[in-house]
Structure 1
Amino acid sequence: MSYEAYFQSIREQQLDELKQWLSIPSISALSAHKADLNKAAEWLADTLTRAGLENVEVHQTGGHPIVYADHLHAPGKPTVLVYGHYDVQPVDPLHLWTTPPFEPDIRDGKLYARGATDDKGQVFLHIKAIEAILKQEEKLPVNIKLCIEGEEEISSRSLPPFLTANRDKLASDVILISDTSLLEPGKPAISTGLRGLCSLEVTVNTANTDLHSGSFGGGVPNALHALVSLLATLHDDQGGVSVDGFYEGVPELSSLMREEFAKQMLDEDQLKASLGLDSLYGEDGFSFVERVGARPTLELNGVYGGFQGEGTKTVIPKEAHAKITCRLVGDQDPQDILDKIKRHLEKHIQPGAKLQIKDGEKARAFNIDPSDRMLQLAADAYEDVYGTRALFTKDGGSIPIVETFSRELAAPVVMMGFGLPDENLHAPNEHFNLENFDKGLLTIVSFLKRL
C-alpha cells in the first residue's frame, strides 16, 4: 500500500487520537495546570510506545516533564533527533473562541483547538510518520530519537541543563523541528535563521515626589520629558539604531540569501494596505522581509508614567518607565548589546534625572548555511509532496532553544514547519489546516527515507 493510501485509510482514527491530546489543557504558564502537563506527557509517552518507539521515558524536572524515546536499529545510517513541545499558550480572551479551546472541532478543513498548530499537531505528524514506516516496512531507514518538552512557551528553563547532562544520549546527525510555518498555502519554507533576543526595563526618577506643575513647572526636571528625550536618541532618522557598536557582529546579507528573500515576492503595497499603513519603516537599503528576517532591531514595547486617569491632573511626574526589546542576528551577544545600550542611556540621560536599568531575557541568534546537505534534502522532500521546492527563509522571531540545540549537540537543525502564518497560534481560534496535516505526514516520510 502506498503511504498516501495508508494515511487516508486511517485518517479519521489519527485525527481522533490527536483530538485526545489537544483536549488536555497543558498550559505551562499557569501553575493550576501542572497536573495537566503531567497528563499530556504521559499521554505522549503512551502514544510513542504504541507507535513502536523504544526506551520511552518521562523525565521529571524542576518544571514540567521532558519526554524521550528512540528507535536505534539502523547501523551505519544517520541519527535524527526530533524536538518539539507539548505545552500550550493560555487561552484568554476566552469569549473570542468560536468553540472551546480544549474541545477540538473540525470546520472547513481545519482543526480548531489550542495547540493544534503550536505545537501538538506538528509533533503528532512525526510520531505518525515514524509509526507508518514501521508498519509498512517493519524498520526505519534511519535511527530516531525524540525529545519533547513541556516548557517551550515559558522559555524552556529545564531543557538546557537536560541537554548538557544528556549530550551523549541525544547525540545525532541532524535535529528536526516542526514548529514553524509555510510561507503561504502550497509554498513551503525552511528557516535558516532565527533572531536572538535581549530585553531591558528602564526607569527614570527625578524629584522625590510628584510636583504641582503650576508651582514647579519649568523649574525642575520632568521624568517623562527626560525619558522621552532619552529614548529619542536610540535611533537615527533613517530607522537605524544609534547605539555605539550595536551592529558589530551583524553579517552582510549574502547574494544567495538576498535571492531567497526575493523569491518570497512579498507585495509591500498589499502589506501596507492590510495593516492600514501609509508607509513601512526601517533601515534604508533593505526590503521588508530582509529587515524582519536578517537585521537587528531595538523596539520600544511600552512607555508609561505620570497621570493616566480620566480628565486632567496637573502634575510633574517623578517617575517614568520604558520596556525595550532587541532582536539580534549573527554573532551579536545579548549581554554585550545590553551593556552597550546601558552605556548609551547613561551618556544621554538629562541632568537632574536618575536612571535605573533592569536586564531581562537573553538569547542568541541561530543561523545555518542553506547549502547544508540536510536542508537540501528537506527541500527536496517538500518538492516530492507539495510539487514545489521549499524556499530558504530567515524568521524574525526567536526560538532560543534552537540555538542551544545546535550549540550543545553540534548538529545541523532542519526546521520543517507545516503550519500557516494565519492559524492564530497564541490567539483565539488557533487551528491547523488539515491539507498540511496530510501533506506533512508524507513530507516527513519522504525526508526520513531520503536521509
Structure 2
Amino acid sequence: MSSLDSVLSRLDDRLDGALDHLKALIAIPSISTDPDYAGACRQAAEWLKKDLAEIGFEASVRETPGHPMVVAHHDGAGPDAPHALFYGHYDVQPVDPISEWNSDPFQSEIVERDGRQVITGRGAADDKGQLMTFVEACRALIAETGTLPCRVTILFEGEEESGSPSLLPFIEANKEELKADFALVCDTNMWDAETPAISGGLRGLVGEEITIHAADRDLHSGYYGGAAANPLQILSSILGAMHDETGRVTIKNFYEGVNETPDDIKKSWDALDLTPDGFLGSIGLSKPSGEAGRSIAELTWARPTAEINGISGGYTGEGFKTVIPAKATAKVSFRLVHDQDPDAIRENFRHFVESHLPADCTVEFHPHGGSPAVQLPYQSSLLTTAKQALTEEWNVEAPIIGMGGSIPIVGTFQNELGMESLLVGFGLADDRIHSPNEKYGLTSFHKGMRSWARILTALARRGS
C-alpha cells in the first residue's frame, strides 16, 4: 500500500474521531459580531492552537485589536518542499432567529436531510467544517508518514464574519512569516453534491455614490414644471445611458483589461448546463439581461458589470407630493474581471456622469471601496494539479469555475504577499450558511479531508 493509500484509509477508518473534533469546535459559540461572545472567540482560537500543536504544528494565538489570530507552522518534508499558506476562519454568524432552528445550533448532530447525511450546527459549513477538512488531512498525513508533503503555514482569523478589521494590519505586520509559495482557501462551494469545483477567478468591485444637485430647494411641480431642471430625470437619463441596446457598458475604456475566456474553458462551462431557466427560474426570471450572445457562466464569472443598486430623491412618503426635487442620489456598483483597474473604472465613470450633466446642475461623488479582480491563469499548474487530484478522488472531472462575488482575503494574499490562491471548497449552495439550520454534508466533510490529502501530496510532486 502506498503512503497516500494508507493516509486515505486512515481518514476512512477514523471518520468518527474527525467528526468528534468538528463537533467540539462547533460547540464553541464564537460569534464575532457580538461582544458578549468575545470569550468564546478566544476559546475557539485556543482550541485550534491546542489541536494543531497536538498533531505537530508549532502553533500560537496572536493578539489583535479585535479577536485573536491562530498561526501555526509545520516544516513538512523540509526546506526544499513547496510552502503553502492555508487560510480559514473560526468565527461564525449570530444564530437569530433561534426559534427557527430545529436543534441547538451549538450541539451538532448527524441527521438526514433530503436523503443525505449532514452535520448540523452554526459554523458547520461556514467555516469550521471547511477548515477542519484541511486539519484532519494534515492529522492523517503526519500520523501515517511522520510529516507533511509540503511546508504548511496556517492562518485562522476570528473576524471574517464581522468585516475582518484586524486582518490586513496583521498581514502587513507579519508579511515575512506568512509569505509562502501559494495560498489555499477552503471557503467556497462544490459545483453540486457529486462534483467538486475549483474557483479560478473572483470578480473585483468598485462602489460609487453620486448625487446630482439642481435648484436650491424642492420646487412646486406645477409652478416650475417644464422650466426647472429635474435631478431625478437627469440622473435616470445618465444611468440609462450606461448600457447600449446589446447590454454592453458604454463608459469610455470600460473594457480595457477584459480578456476573452479561452474556448476550451467556455466549452467546459457549457457542459455544466447552466441554463437561463435553471439559473434565473428560481427567482422568477427567465431571460439574461447582460451582454447579448454570452452564456450565463460568462455573464456571472468572466464579464464585468455596471449595476444600479438604489436611487433616491424627492418625496417617497405616504400619499402624494408634487415636487421637483432639489437633488437625486444613486448608488452604483461595478463588478470587475481580469486586469480591469478599479481606479480607472471609477475615474472613467465620473467623467461619463460629468459629460452628461446639463447646465445649472452639479454632481458630487462618494466612493464606497474598490478592489481588483483575481484571476489565476487557466493553465496555472496550481489549477491543473488540484484539478487532477480532485478528479481522482471524486471520479468526475472537477470544473474550473468563476465566482461572481469577491473574497477580499484572496486579493490581500495577491497584493500584499504576492501569492496566487487556490480556492477549493466543499460546501453546497443549500448549506444555509448565515441562516437557521446551517448544515454541512457528511460526504463533503469526509471526501473533503481525502481531497486535501491528495492535493497536498500532488502539489509536493508538482514539477518534480
Q: Which runs of 4+ in 1 moved over 6 A?
A: none
**Pair 1:59-2:62 in alignment:** yes
- Aligned pair in 2 of structure 1 residues 354, 180: CA closer, same or farther (>3 Å)? same
**Pair 1:74-2:77 in alignment:** yes
Query: Which residue of the partner structure matches residue 228 of structure 1?
Result: 236
* Secondary structure of 1:249's aligned partner: coil
Distance between the aligned counterparts of 2:421 and 2:202, measured in 1? 11
* Secondary structure of 2:249's aligned partner: coil
- Aligned pair in 2 of structure 1 residues 243, 216: CA closer, same or farther (>3 Å)? same
* Secondary structure of 2:11's aligned partner: helix
Letter in 1 for 2:334: C
**Cα offset, 1:287, TM superposition:** 0.8
**Cα offset, 1:207, TM superposition:** 2.9
Deviation string, structure 1 residues 16-52 (Cα, Å, up to 9, x no partner): 3323322434344445544443333222222222333
Matched-pair contact (CA < 8 Å) for 2:84–2:181: yes
Query: Which residue of the partner structure matches residue 279 of structure 1?
Result: 287
Q: Which residues in structure 2 correspond to 1:51-200 (within 5 Å)? A: 51-54=55-58, 56-75=59-78, 76-92=80-96, 96-99=100-103, 101-108=105-112, 109-200=117-208
Counterpart among 330, 333, 338 of residue 330 in structure 1: 338
TM-score by length of 1: 0.92
Matched-pair contact (CA < 8 Å) for 1:331–1:365: yes
Matched-pair contact (CA < 8 Å) for 1:196–1:366: yes
Matched-pair contact (CA < 8 Å) for 2:304–2:336: yes
Letter in 1 for 2:423: M
- Aligned pair in 2 of structure 1 residues 46, 237: CA closer, same or farther (>3 Å)? same
Deviation string, structure 1 residues 220-269 (Cα, Å, up to 9, x no partner): 23332222222112211221111111111111222232233223222333
Letter in 1 for 2:72: A
Letter in 2 for 1:38: R
Matched-pair contact (CA < 8 Å) for 1:129–1:442: yes
**Cα offset, 1:155, TM superposition:** 4.4
Query: Which residue of the partner structure matches residue 39 of structure 1?
Result: 43
Moved more, 96-105 or 278-287: 96-105
Distance between the aligned counterparts of 2:31 and 2:243, measured in 1? 38
TM-score by length of 2: 0.89
Q: Which residues in structure 2 correspond to 1:288-367 (within 5 Å)? A: 288-367=296-375
Give the superposed CA RMSD. Answer: 2.3
**Cα offset, 1:445, TM superposition:** 0.9
Matched-pair contact (CA < 8 Å) for 2:8–2:453: no
Distance between the aligned counterparts of 1:400 and 1:434, measured in 2? 28
Distance between the aligned counterparts of 1:326 and 1:123, measured in 2? 31
* Structure 1 alignment gaps of length 5 or more: none
- Aligned pair in 2 of structure 1 residues 13, 305: CA closer, same or farther (>3 Å)? farther
Matched-pair contact (CA < 8 Å) for 2:125–2:431: yes
Distance between the aligned counterparts of 2:67 and 2:303, measured in 1? 34
Aligned residues: 450
**Cα offset, 1:154, TM superposition:** 4.3
Distance between the aligned counterparts of 2:215 and 2:99, measured in 1? 44
Distance between the aligned counterparts of 1:425 and 1:361, measured in 2? 25
**Cα offset, 1:3, TM superposition:** 4.1
- Aligned pair in 2 of structure 1 residues 93, 222: CA closer, same or farther (>3 Å)? farther
**Cα offset, 1:73, TM superposition:** 4.1
Deviation string, structure 1 residues 65-116 (Cα, Å, up to 9, x no partner): 2211011142222222111122334445555544454443443112233322
Query: Which residue of the partner structure matches residue 396 of structure 2?
Result: 388
Query: Which residue of the partner structure matches residue 433 of structure 1?
Result: 441
Distance between the aligned counterparts of 1:31 and 1:223, measured in 2? 43
Distance between the aligned counterparts of 1:306 and 1:33, measured in 2? 43
- Aligned pair in 2 of structure 1 residues 349, 22: CA closer, same or farther (>3 Å)? farther
